[in-house]
Structure 1
């Protein structure tokens, strides 16, 4: 845990131009620097570095951020590790908070389990290569599967002997404790027998690594055919291993995923290994379990593009479709490749070169919604009722997509494929979104397209990496470096949020008590608090989650005297928050030096002054801007409420509830009066109908 004071020292010391110049050749252009973007193949310099804002931004691919977020992306590090990287660069000693006894025990247990897993990993590898049993049973199996020695070494493949307690006995001799052997799941302890039993007996071993390369668990495939014995066995859940979080092969694939901006998703261990061996390295496996939100966020750290590889089994494909909905909901661009009958990624990779495999993928890669629609067409033709059910299923998938334009494109294409009315389909999609459609609520197709319940419940990742008690601390183990998919601020909220991020700590005058009888009229409060109090007083509930989160945090943090909104949000541990902050703080268009000089009548000023600094507005001007943007947001809120009330009125008319109709009509009248008042106060602003 990095204490808050040390974190602030690191953020204060890190200069964006110094950090970026370690990776990119920069040249001065006006007040900023320009260079080739390190995150995509950039022929013309499009990577801009702004020392005044301490931010970088590629105007081609969109990557960038603060110094800490640049390091997270370029070095593929977590938030805490990126802070440590910068601390080393600037010679800042990391001050760790002293852990409690309970925390020390947990940390000690975790470290002991990691050490034990490393020992077990070496034991399994030695058993594979240096024992007669391993060579005759396991090594011959890997060779039969076409896995070369260098690939075995790359994936650290091993073998667990058939002997009942070979690993357990050796670990105990080396001084490892029984509690850790049982805790990691390497050993089993039965009440009716003495001693320990190895979990992975007579199995080839596939080590499971975290994104940073630590061995957290193992997968084992049985060699001898035995009745009532599972073909594959995995390590159980522990304090270091959660199957809902890990993806097999991600540690070895992450750099190639980021470089190619695409991730292939397959089912099994050998699928990943064979594709790596054929030259396709941007591939991971969910190890035969249903995808979870945590796994998707792991992938989303490196790319937004994912291609799922299926074998030719249509029934199996239909059963797996439901898991794809979660990918769509998180904003990933999902494509599907259907391999020839009788082939899986393992066999196809072994029988084809990387060039042939990639050529096949390029020819057969299909957008998921299109693939799903085509897959269901045959069922739709046979039964009208079935057709309606399957169309509802497809609409449910489209409704999950967060981007409005992408949804509209899918609606248009699906309507053409199914020969349906576009407006009807669009309305149904909108209804599902208004009802709060999510992965768990998407309608599922009836039994002939069964979608079994995932054996792992999707779990939300932490939204930030800060503690809630005592001094704010930075958790260095589980941050995410890819923006999480929350609703982006609406066009009506965007400018107000820009003011909050840029000027959140500036003082505004309150012309009336803001909810407190003791507050003195004409006192001053921070802009962020002013905005929150004003919206709360009028009962305005903003639509987007991210606006609420950022407004609430800014209002809360503004109570402290050292709060600076730009610095706080630019370096926020939550990458979704920091990403939006960077977008709001970035000038997508800048004045030329000639224009700046003509403004100032000073030929040098255009080169040395950034006119869009913190003093862009006087207190009076800033107050007027905030008031105006508040009116815009309130007007948008009123429009939304009017739309809802009109829908409710239609429903009430259909059901014949006269009293409810009168009540809704009164609310509509009041809301329309408020709309007129807001329109009057907005003046020359266009008020949408």
Structure 2
């Protein structure tokens, strides 16, 4: 286990905006930072980071927390892994109380797969640098490709020995389980033997955005025509090809900084470009580009420049991915290299300044590039030209932004020498067809939804009321629980003539004490189990610690509880006194005015108790209609009358009756 002093140091050192900035492009929005949600496919940013409070909130999914919880949510780290990641990022030495072997035993299945993959990567690197076969074959190959020692180490390149089970034997000897070697695809298990998937190949570890080893790509170096030139890890619990971009770990900061991403085809393209000084480059690793891969880039930048090989066949095959990029609302440029060159070979022979100049001068807008490429086939053939124009309009129709669509229609009209009216008409026909299909699907889904909605609307409405009230109590506790303010206790007494006399006693209480005593008076528990657990915990925290620190408290919560607390902290401007004061037409200079706090606490508690009384009265009324009521009608009416008297008494504390939650 990691020692507590290391954990505390990590929390004190890590900056949430720096950690999340490695995964999401953040832009200033007042005192906060804003970006696209990394947890949902959204077009408008609703992901907020607060550098002041050191928390984040994703309003599209409801998730939230601190730097550690972000890594646990986004990278599926365990708590210790998130701490290790941050310790490495901030150069903090980790002190542990038990050996790493015990950590291996305690790791769950998914974590075990990560551990096995990390071990394999280190093993392949060891073979490459330390063993004769690795140096003679693997290292020589990388040197021939022009990679420096620094580059080879930076990308963790390695070599898998050309023997059937070298990795498998080594891993089993180090107490790694065959089960996880098989699940990661490193070992192929047969009926009577097991062997290494990547034997005799140079190895390219595939890393997540945070640097975790997800899988491998292996290139064979012999001329064996029966074996695939490149072999990737199979799909697994930790490796999904459609969600991964090779090089994203090394490119993410440069992509965000330069606000552009170069997209290439292969592993060596990425490495050679990176070595040449172009670091904002990633690859789809030889697979067809997917929407999830594009969204990964979209978190860091809205701009993609696709780099193509010089051969025409490759251009036509690869250009199909552009429509997908356009659908995601990205800005696309395309750059091709001279015949016979690809990003790898061109970067290898071109000095940095010339390479940057070439990319800048030869990157064309997608519509210009597509027209120039496909017009070579159309030439003077009117039918082919018509097909080309339709193909370009289809691409334009994928763009979600209406203004951009219109600009591209105008550009297409100019390039192809055809009227804008015809192009707009064609675009409208496509949109109508898409709308018709969407409406048909919507109506089918709506029928199913109506059944569920009719059954649950009333229940949801009731839950929302009590949830809002209970959340208000938590908000006051979290934001103001440690404040000591003056409250009024109202007593009803009778004089010798039986006349009511209202007596007011002023008392000093910490806010958390006042809330606790008030709810305890009626033996009230919060209905929401998470809210109730937080309520009990917060009261205990205030009781034990005079100096309550919200951020420290948040750091030690489980994810479900942290999400609720983050929601309150990120929205404290919304939940603090402003809205309440505006509604009551009360004006103060400072939001922590003690008298106003006292009134806010009293009204919230009274409103909550009143709601519960109304709820009890409603349940009693239903008893009258029951076939076998628990009480007689007379008893029920007496109880309702008593509850109404109680409601009158408690609402005297705020000088009015409420009917909002009848």
Band the TM-score falls in, shorter-chain normalisation: 0.5 to 0.7
**Residue of structure 2 in register with 1:84 after alignment:** 68
- Contact 2:16–2:49 (CA<8 Å) still a contact in 1? no
Counterpart CA distance in 2 for 1:412 and 1:606 is 55
**Residue of structure 2 in register with 1:561 after alignment:** 468
**Residue of structure 1 in register with 2:577 after alignment:** none
Q: Relative CO higher for 1 or 2, CA cutoff 8 Å, sep ≥ 6? A: 1
How far apart are residue 434 of structure 1 and its match? Answer: 2.6
**Residue of structure 1 in register with 2:138 after alignment:** 138
**Residue of structure 1 in register with 2:335 after alignment:** 337
Quickly say closer, same or farther: Cα 1:352–1:117, change in 2 above 3 A.
same
SS at match of 1:129: helix
SS at match of 2:467: coil
How far apart are residue 235 of structure 1 and its match? Answer: 0.5
SS at match of 2:317: helix
- Contact 1:156–1:207 (CA<8 Å) still a contact in 2? yes
How far apart are residue 358 of structure 1 and its match? Answer: 1.0
**Residue of structure 2 in register with 1:48 after alignment:** 30
Quickly say closer, same or farther: Cα 1:87–1:57, change in 2 above 3 A.
closer
SS at match of 1:306: strand
Quickly say closer, same or farther: Cα 1:407–1:56, change in 2 above 3 A.
same
Runs of 4+ in 1 over 3 A off after TM superposition: 18-24, 55-58, 61-66, 68-73, 78-88, 555-560, 562-565, 604-609
Counterpart CA distance in 2 for 1:372 and 1:211 is 31
SS at match of 1:435: helix
Map 1:269-280; keep pairs closer than 5 Å. 269-280=267-278
How far apart are residue 222 of structure 1 and its match? Answer: 0.4
**Residue of structure 2 in register with 1:289 after alignment:** 287
How far apart are residue 561 of structure 1 and its match? Answer: 2.6
**Structure 2, unaligned runs of 5 or more:** 1-10, 36-43, 73-77, 81-104, 439-452, 476-559, 561-565, 575-584, 594-662
**Residue of structure 1 in register with 2:48 after alignment:** 65
Counterpart CA distance in 1 for 2:268 and 2:151 is 11
**Residue of structure 2 in register with 1:174 after alignment:** 174
Map 1:207-606; keep pairs closer than 5 Å. 207-436=205-434, 560-562=467-469
Quickly say closer, same or farther: Cα 1:22–1:197, change in 2 above 3 A.
closer
SS at match of 1:415: helix
How far apart are residue 82 of structure 1 and its match? Answer: 3.9
Counterpart CA distance in 1 for 2:383 and 2:17 is 59
- Contact 1:48–1:57 (CA<8 Å) still a contact in 2? no
Q: Could you tell me the TM-score, scaled by structure 1's length?
A: 0.54
- Contact 2:269–2:343 (CA<8 Å) still a contact in 1? yes
Counterpart CA distance in 2 for 1:287 and 1:251 is 14
Quickly say closer, same or farther: Cα 1:376–1:87, change in 2 above 3 A.
closer
Write the deviation string for residues 356-410 of structure 1: whole angstroms up to 9, x where unpaired: 1111011001111221122112222332221222211111100000000000000
Q: In the alignment, is residue 124 of structure 1 matched against residue 124 of structure 2?
A: yes
Counterpart CA distance in 2 for 1:86 and 1:386 is 51
Report which of the two structures shows the higher radius of gyration computed on alpha carbons.
2
Aligned residues: CA RMSD: 4.7
Counterpart CA distance in 2 for 1:254 and 1:268 is 17
**Residue of structure 2 in register with 1:162 after alignment:** 162
Counterpart CA distance in 2 for 1:171 and 1:23 is 34
Quickly say closer, same or farther: Cα 1:83–1:145, change in 2 above 3 A.
closer
**Residue of structure 1 in register with 2:641 after alignment:** none
Counterpart CA distance in 1 for 2:385 and 2:19 is 58
Quickly say closer, same or farther: Cα 1:422–1:70, change in 2 above 3 A.
farther
**Structure 1, unaligned runs of 5 or more:** 1-13, 25-37, 41-45, 50-54, 89-93, 97-104, 442-513, 520-524, 530-554, 568-572, 587-599, 610-689
SS at match of 2:30: strand
Write the deviation string for residues 419-466 of structure 1: whole angstroms up to 9, x where unpaired: 11101101211221232289x99xxxxxxxxxxxxxxxxxxxxxxxxx
Counterpart CA distance in 2 for 1:326 and 1:334 is 10
How far apart are residue 181 of structure 1 and its match? Answer: 1.2
SS at match of 2:242: coil
How far apart are residue 515 of structure 1 and its match? Answer: 9.0
What is the aligned length?
Answer: 421
Counterpart CA distance in 2 for 1:414 and 1:341 is 27
Counterpart CA distance in 2 for 1:62 and 1:181 is 40
SS at match of 2:243: coil
Counterpart CA distance in 2 for 1:213 and 1:107 is 19
Quickly say closer, same or farther: Cα 1:95–1:184, change in 2 above 3 A.
closer
Counterpart CA distance in 1 for 2:250 and 2:164 is 32
- Of Structure 1 and Structure 2, which has the larger fraction of its residues in helix? 2
Counterpart CA distance in 2 for 1:219 and 1:284 is 15
**Residue of structure 1 in register with 2:500 after alignment:** none
